[in-house]
Amino acid sequence: MRQAAIEGGFGIDKLVWREVATPEPGCGQVLVQMQAASLNYRDYLVTLGKYNPKMPLPRVPLSDGAGVVSALGEGVTAFSIGDRVAGIFMQTWLGGPYRDDYGKSALGGAVDGVLSEYAVFDADGLVRIPTHLSFEEGATLPCAAVTAWNALFESGNVKPGDTVLVQGTGGVSIFALQFAKMAGARVIATSSYPEKMEKLRAMGADWVLNYKENPDWGKSIAKAGRVDHVVEVGGVGSLEQSLIAVRGGGSVSMIGVLTGILGSLSIGPILHKHLRVQGIYVGSRAMFENMNRAIQQVQMRPVIDIFFEASEIQTALRYMESAAHFGKIAVRI
Ligand SMILES: NC(=O)c1ccc[n+]([C@@H]2O[C@H](COP(=O)([O-])OP(=O)(O)OC[C@H]3O[C@@H](n4cnc5c(N)ncnc54)[C@H](OP(=O)(O)O)[C@@H]3O)[C@@H](O)[C@H]2O)c1
């Protein structure tokens, strides 16, 4: 079978295809014929060696994929051949609070990922994808969607009538917009492109601001009314504004590092406004299943900007680098 790997060093050009033996599922394992994958900003950082410069190579990239169960190892009863499944981001975080060791099982980073014709997972490391979704749509869920879901409803407590602030138009933020609207919340969204701002309005965003034209967007938002929750994906370059935007007693889900991880900022508002700043690292299988029930119930569809063939993975990563996308980038395997 064919499998992609980052080999011989980091860089988009170091992502190559290789021929390897098709794996066989061991006891308690499931062989999945992968049909689709999706890109996350993390996959771009991993490929460049910026996520973990010490990551051992070769490494199969991408955390998010969906496919068909094609063989079952001894003792597997939870799945049948033909089931449509996706891998969970951290293969060992099944439920309960986060634990230090769970990160060691993150696909496409700590362990091999899903950009492969076949992949073996522990049965516990899979969920069924909602029945109305295509494989490409199902493949958008494991990282970006679970992260947004966790931020709003598992670690967060978004209620109808709350106001949620989402930043930019990448995968996590568009899922957060969809979930917030699903819950009856009001959404304030930011983007740096007028065309994307139009799309945000069309998706139901109640107020849209250009964060580049208005670098003091935190103050503008705070003046205009109440923000209960911020889905913070910008990192060090946007956190200060987020802390200004959110209401006293509100919460900020710390998710992203799009503008970097190191810098100086005033943490005063966290204390003086009695804020809750909550770190989010994707989520557990239980959260994924909770989210899938909701997606199924309201027949929600992920927003896919563009489809690439697996052989075009380098072009797909460069497209992500350009930040031209709105929502998710899908890869057909
Ligand atoms: N902690 C976790 O568990 C977790 C999980 C998933 C992702 N993440 C992180 O969350 C971030 C987003 O991931 P993603 O996959 O959704 O990324 P993505 O799809 O690549 O998002 C790109 C978009 O983010 C927006 N953006 C860039 N800089 C921004 C800024 N300074 N302020 C506001 N928006 C900005 C841009 O939107 P416009 O073009 O509209 O301006 C850009 O198109 C990344 O840092 C990723 O590593 C963390």
Contact indicator for 56, 109 with CB cutoff of 8 Å: no
Burial of 96 from C-beta contacts in 10 A (0-12 / 13-18 / 19+): exposed
Going by C-alpha positions, the residue among 168, 187, 162 that lies closest to residue 177 is 187
User: Whole-angstrom Cα distance, residue 198 to residue 162?
Assistant: 23
259 CB less than 6 Å from ligand 1? yes
Judged by DSSP in three states, 332 sits in: strand
Write down the pTM of the prediction. Answer: 0.98
Closest CA to 45 of 66, 61, 64, 65: 61
Is 282 a pocket residue for ligand 1 (Cβ < 6 Å)? yes
| Amino acid, res. 258 | L
Distance (angstroms) between ligand 1 centre and the Cα of 142 equals 16
Expressed in angstroms and rounded, the spacing between residue 76 Cα and the centre of ligand 1 is 37
Tokens coding 38: 């999706």
Return the H-helix or E-strand segment holding 102.
Answer: none
Q: Report in angstroms the alpha-carbon separations of 12 from 4, 36, 48, 61, 264.
A: 12, 20, 7, 11, 31
Determine the Cα–Cα distance for residues 319 and 333; give it in Å rounded to an integer. Answer: 18
Residue 91 DSSP code = T
Separation between Cα atoms, residue 2 and residue 310, nearest integer Å: 10
User: Can you spell out the DSSP letters for 124-135?
Assistant: GGEEEPPTTS-H
* Domains in the chain: boundaries: 2-141+302-332, 156-279
Bond prior to 23 in cis (omega within 30° of 0):
no
- Going by DSSP bridges, is the β-strand pair 186-191/163-167 parallel, antiparallel, or unpaired? parallel
- How far does residue 240's CA lie from ligand 1's centre (Å)? 16
CATH superfamily of 156-279: NAD(P)-binding Rossmann-like Domain (3.40.50.720)
Contact 182, 300 (CB under 8 A): yes
Q: Which atom of ligand 1 lies closest to the CA of 325? A: 43
Please state, in angstroms and rounded to a whole number, the distance separating the CA atoms of residues 22 and 33: 10
Beta carbon of 171 within 6 Å of any ligand 1 atom: yes
Indicate if ligand 1 lies below 6 Å from the C-beta of 186.
no
Please give the structure tokens belonging to residue 243: 């802390």
CA of 173 relative to ligand 1 center, distance in Å:
7
Per CATH, the architecture of 2-141+302-332 is what? Answer: Alpha-Beta Complex (3.90)
User: How far apart are the CA of 306 and the centre of ligand 1, in A?
Assistant: 17
Coil/strand/helix, residue 13: helix
The four Cα atoms 186, 191, 193, 198 give a dihedral, to 10 degrees, of -10
pLDDT by residue, tens only, the chain of 333 residues: 999 999 999 999 999 999 999 999 999 999 999 999 999 999 999 999 999 999 999 999 999 999 999 999 999 999 999 999 999 999 999 999 999 999 999 999 999 999 999 999 999 999 999 999 999 999 999 999 999 999 999 999 999 999 999 999 999 999 999 999 999 999 999 999 999 999 999 999 999 999 999 999 999 999 998 999 999 999 999 999 999 999 999 999 999 999 888 999 899 999 999 999 999 999 999 999 999 999 999 999 999 999 999 999 999 999 999 999 999 999 999
Q: Give the residue from 10, 129, 13 showing the smallest Cα distance to 69.
A: 129
